[in-house]
Amino acid sequence: MNIATRGGIEFLAVLLGLSGSLWIDGNIKENEARKQNTEILTRLYNNLRADSLDGEWNRKAYERGIKGCKNVIKWCDLNPSFSMVNDSIEKDISTMLIATFFGNNEEEYNSLKNSGKMHLINNKSLISDLHRYYTFLNWTDYVDADTWRLSEEEVGPFLSNYADELYFNRNDTTKKNVVYSIYPKINLVKLPEIEKLRFYASKKLWHHDHQARSYARIVREVSMLRESIREELNL
């Protein structure tokens, strides 16, 4: 074998060895990226499941608020006297105090966004859908906070002038003094100022209606996002 031939063989061997090393290295990186994609999507999937449960609970709370506020407005239009106060209208008036917070699980999404690792999710359409969803949550949180402020700073102090207590007993399995889940019924001892009661019922009706629709949208979007993730994970 002459020098040229031997040199060519040696060069080819080096080239094949280098190519093999690059292929192995690339394959390892590809497998690692695939593993990270799966882990990220799994965590997002679990976060969204919790969002779905909390979102549906909040939606139902605000739906009860809508029904109650509408009944209060109708009752006020009757020009009622204190003799017309009963358990049913007390429960409806109590729904004016309903306000919720959404315990959304943004940790995984925020971690990806802040660390610049969003590219680890292969499905770019899913990234866009996630961004839209979490952006909408910021607006929902804002209105929730305003609903709390209205309940705590305006409606609550107003109703406290006409009620002596909130009925709520965690051990009462009949839930007869519960408006919805954890929200108790007030006990009126005198007739509220009707015009102001109607005003607050109308104001809270807007908040309840807005948030009920917002949480219905959240539940729908969560369902679609989780379906997309299931497809990505081949579940």
pTM for the structure as a whole: 0.80
Euclidean distance between CA atoms 158 and 151, whole angstroms: 10
Short-list 5, 50, 76, CA closest to 219: 50
pLDDT tens-digit readout, 18-29: 555 544 454 545
Q: pLDDT band for position 40 (50/70/90)?
A: confident
H-helix or E-strand spanning residue 210: helix 194-233
What average pLDDT does range 92-96 have in this prediction? 95
Could you tell me where the beta strands, DSSP code E, fall in the chain?
Answer: 163-167, 178-180, 183-188
Euclidean distance between CA atoms 197 and 190, whole angstroms: 13
On the question of pLDDT at 75 being above 60, the answer is: yes
Quick one: residue 31, left, alpha or beta (phi over 0 = left, psi -120 to 50 = alpha)? alpha
In DSSP terms, 178 is beta-bridged to 184
The 8 Å CB, 24+ separation contacts for 159-165 are 159/93, 159/96, 159/97, 159/186, 159/192, 161/192, 162/188, 162/189, 162/190, 162/191, 162/192, 163/187, 163/188, 163/189, 164/189
Short-list 96, 108, 112, CA closest to 151: 96
pLDDT tens-digit readout, 155-204: 999 999 998 865 545 455 555 677 777 788 888 999 999 999 999 999 99
pLDDT tens-digit readout, 128-155: 999 999 999 988 999 999 999 999 999 9
- Give the mean pLDDT of the chain: 83
pLDDT given at position 23: 46
